[in-house]
Amino acid sequence: MPQYFLARHVFVCLQGEHVVFLDIRKDRYFALEAARTAGLDEFVAGWPVPSHTDAAYALHTADGGVVQISRSVDRSAPSAVISLLLEKEILVEAPAQGKSAVPVKAEPSRADLAAEALEEDVTVGARTVLRFASSAMRASLILKYRTFEIAVERVRARVEAACGRAEIVDKDRLHHLIGVFSRLRPYFFTSKDACLFDALALSEFLAHYRIYPHWVFGVQARPFAAHCWLQLGDLVLNDTVEHVKRYTAIMVV
Sign of the torsion angle spanned by Cα atoms 227, 228, 233, 237: negative
- Report the candidate in 252, 122, 141, 242 with the shortest Cα–Cα distance to residue 187: 122
Mean residue pLDDT of the chain comes to 85
Q: pTM here?
A: 0.85
pLDDT in tens, 183-215: 898 888 776 658 999 999 999 999 999 999 999
Rounded-to-integer distance, Cα 148 and Cα 7, Å: 16
Q: Please answer whether residues 139 and 19 qualify as being in contact, where contact means their C-beta atoms are separated by less than 8 angstroms.
A: no
Dihedral angle over CA of 64, 13, 16, 230, nearest 10: -60
The pLDDT score that the predictor gives to residue 208 is 95
Check pLDDT > 50 for residue 88.
yes
| 109-127: average pLDDT | 74
pLDDT in tens, 90-107: 999 999 999 999 999 999
Q: What is the DSSP string of 96-111?
A: GGEE--PPP-PPPP-E
59: confidence class by pLDDT, cuts 50, 70, 90 = very low
8-state DSSP, 44? B
